[in-house]
Structure 1
């Protein structure tokens, strides 16, 4: 059985050890390293190759935002899930726009953490209920009209719009293919074209972009 390789960075030793113990109990998860700050994590990533990094936002030396930027430029194969105590919409939206793959609260149930990791591995992103609500609040409370999403030379097709809508509802590639009666490969093709048109890095960024620009 191929294991999902994980690393974790958090300056609170008790929380970090607790997360490590919890994740190590899951048979196909493997914790291959831990760090107390972003700088330590980047040094670790130079030696190991995880699938997912779980990051705290507030850490000494290098925080989660700066660390995420370095991971995306130096280790683009590593997916990032933020695990934070911050519930403010501005933190959530900012990090989704930065292209993080998921955002969890530190008081999340163990089952949700496991589900988030699996969804990020299979679909590239995970949105909890509170993240979805934050995105919707961003749309509702925006005071100024959104900038045009596409220029006159770029068009989004009706089928791409359907795929985007379903991605924003949190459906996986397989679920979308079954709903639209097309192959998963076709869905993935639409998703990649949407990424290209919007200039976003991944599905999480695409969904955040769609909500921010009131595309739906």
Structure 2
């Protein structure tokens, strides 16, 4: 059994301790790092590098946005799940564009937190209904005359199958669930996902989804 190394950065000690305690009973989860702000997190990362970090956004000294950027720059293999009280769409979309693998609210149930950890470890991302709706609203409310966020968006053309796979990813389905729904192999699903990344010029599925919604590719 592979043990997943976890970390958390949050300036509220009560929340940090409660979060860690909530997951401590799961045998393959091990918290190796906790920090009260982004700078403390970065200082501790070289000695205790987790697989997944839970990141608050508003923290003193260094906030979660800057800490996420620097963590990805220095430790590209790390995955980040935002855990925040901010439920505005702009925060969700902004952090997805930064490349985070998931976005949870602080009132998320323990079962969903565990699901998010396992999905991020296995699939590389986790989108719940809250995130999917935020991305959809961003697409619907986009001003028609606004320039695309990415200058080469007009040159991107996803096939109908690629759009279908991407939409199911947005709906929160795993690679296995998508393969079963579309009656295609897991390898084929992964191939479509990789082609979406190539066409959109993005490095993560989260960034590709944000790109697609922002530029009306779905």
Question: What is the TM-score normalised by the length of structure 2?
Answer: 0.92
Q: How many residues are matched?
A: 214
Q: Distance in 2 between matches of 1:104 and 1:155?
A: 31
Aligned to 1:208: 210
Is the counterpart of residue 139 in structure 1 residue 134 in structure 2?
no
Aligned to 2:153: 149
Q: Distance in 1 between matches of 2:85 and 2:163?
A: 34
Q: Report deviation, 1:38.
A: 0.8
Aligned to 1:57: 57
Aligned to 2:176: 174
Long gaps (5+) in structure 2: none
Change (3 A) 1:129 1:166: closer
Q: Distance in 2 between matches of 1:166 and 1:93?
A: 18
Q: Distance in 2 between matches of 1:173 and 1:145?
A: 35
Q: Distance in 1 between matches of 2:171 and 2:133?
A: 11
Question: What is the TM-score normalised by the length of structure 1?
Answer: 0.93
SS, match of residue 95 in structure 1: helix
Preserved CA contact (<8 Å) 2:128 2:171: no
Aligned to 2:77: 77
Q: Report deviation, 1:26.
A: 1.4
User: Which string of whole-angstrom CA distances, capped at 9 and with x for unpartnered residues, describes residues 88-111 of structure 1?
Assistant: 111111111111101111111111
Q: Distance in 2 between matches of 1:171 and 1:209?
A: 19
SS, match of residue 53 in structure 1: strand
Aligned to 2:10: 10
User: Which string of whole-angstrom CA distances, capped at 9 and with x for unpartnered residues, describes residues 41-86 of structure 1?
Assistant: 1122111231100010011111110011011111111100000011
Q: Distance in 2 between matches of 1:130 and 1:4?
A: 25
